[in-house]
Amino acid sequence: MTYVFLLCVYVVIQRLIQFHIQITLILKISYQFSDTITIDWLVQNMPQFLFPDLSKQRTRIEKPFIGVLATHNRKPVGLILATSESSQTIYRIHSFLVHPQFQRQGIGLNLLKEIEAHSRKRGGLKIEGMYRSHWKSVSFIQKILKVQQWETPKPQLIIAKDEVSKALNYFSKSSQILDEFSIYSFTQLKKSDIEFIQQNQRNKQWFDSTLNPFVEQNSIDKKSSFLLKKEQEIIGWIVSHRINKELNEWTSLFIDPKYRTFKLTYALIQYALRQQKALGIPQFLVTSKLDGNAVSRLLERGGEEYGVFCTTSYYSQKALI
């Protein structure tokens, strides 16, 4: 009996020691705020604390981040980053990571609290963020968002990333652009084309702002971006940006509602995929709103059947007033 009692005491003591160590670690965590963090500095000095990996968007992130760094004994253990719109009333979280050895100790929750507080101090009225369904940290993200009283996350985007050859297995059915339509690469883009699109947008809000074909115009891959015309009048486009030698990101696909059909959308995507393959770019990345449009339907329908990797992006927000 004495041996059993001593063994129980030993186990209890060991658990108390472990609990004390955890509490001590939490008490020694420091949180530092900065509003001058550049993507170049992050990629050079803290690439292991970027999640998702923002280095792939290095050429597309111009303004500095605000961020909170968690440290233990002056060593980084966690980081959260956000940017604001020009009005500084809406803040968006872009990266959020806690070192695996320091997870489940409340650091992630504190980082979120800190970035909310600093966004509020800077005049922020709302903070928002997105996460993807395949991330291992999904349950953790959902938990702390709930604790911090963010809105219930809603599916917003479907994202596909895979080999062009896999996608062409789905787009294998012979399909051609009808004679009344024609396709031109952005290498043939004229000043008058740009003016036509911009004028239409001003006059009748022709397309959703997320489908603007001229966002980050300097990084557009002109050889794999295309204009769709009907009798020499622009009615749509598919635009891509070269992420690296192996990967092309399709950032905008639009067809005027008057001419938009599933068949025409299918044919335009098939054409773009074939051209990308011919250019020797093996991988593609495409993002589409989950609003029943042709692209999202194609991804939902073909992704699982043909083994194309697809994930869903969830959006949540919180009022900071």
Give pLDDT, residue 293: 67
- Tokens, residue 170: 């789905």
Q: How far apart are CA 66 and CA 177, in angstroms?
A: 47
Give pLDDT, residue 294: 64
**Percent of the chain at pLDDT above 70?**
86
What is 28-150's CATH topology?
Answer: Aminopeptidase (3.40.630)
Letter string b/e over residues 20-39, b meaning 16 or more CB atoms within 10 A of that residue's CB? eeeeebeeebebeeeeebeb
> What residue spans of 101-209 are helical by DSSP H?
107-121, 138-147, 164-170, 191-204
Side-by-side strand order, sheet with 233-242: 29-37, 65-72, 75-84, 90-98, 126-132, 310-319, 154-163, 283-289, 247-255, 233-242, 226-230, 181-185
**How would you classify the pairing of strands 90-98 and 126-132?**
parallel
Q: Which CATH class is domain 160-315?
A: alpha beta
Longest Cα–Cα distance in the chain: 95
Q: How far apart are CA 163 and CA 246, in angstroms?
A: 10
Least confident stretch, 198-207, 217-226, 254-263, 293-302:
293-302
- Tokens, residue 188: 């043939």
- Tokens, residue 177: 């652009």
Contacts 24+ apart (CB under 8 A), 243-247: 243/56, 243/285, 244/56, 245/281, 246/281, 246/282, 246/283, 247/161, 247/281, 247/283, 247/284, 247/285
Give pLDDT, residue 88: 86
Which is higher by pLDDT, 250 or 1? Answer: 250
pLDDT at 299 over 60: yes
Q: What is the average per-residue pLDDT within 36-64? A: 88
Give pLDDT, residue 24: 39
pLDDT at 52 over 50: yes
> What's the pLDDT tens digit per position in 83-99?
998 788 999 999 999 99
**pLDDT class of 9 with cuts at 50, 70, 90:** very low
Cβ neighbours for 321, distance < 8 A, ≥ 6 positions apart: 125
Which is higher by pLDDT, 258 or 2? Answer: 258
Give the CB-side neighbour count of residue 189, counting CA atoms within 13 A: 22
3-state secondary structure of 137: coil
pLDDT at 287 over 50: yes
Q: What is the average per-residue pLDDT within 302-309? A: 71
**pLDDT class of 45 with cuts at 50, 70, 90:** very high
Q: How far apart are CA 116 and CA 145, in angstroms?
A: 12
Asked whether the beta carbons of 228 and 255 are under 8 A apart, the reply is yes
pLDDT at 312 over 60: yes
Q: What is the average per-residue pLDDT within 133-160? A: 94
- Tokens, residue 303: 């992704």
Give pLDDT, residue 11: 41
Q: What is the average per-residue pLDDT within 201-207? A: 92
Least confident stretch, 172-176, 180-184, 209-213:
172-176
**pLDDT class of 55 with cuts at 50, 70, 90:** confident
pTM: 0.71
Give pLDDT, residue 48: 96
CATH 3.40.630.30 positions along the chain are 28-150, 160-315
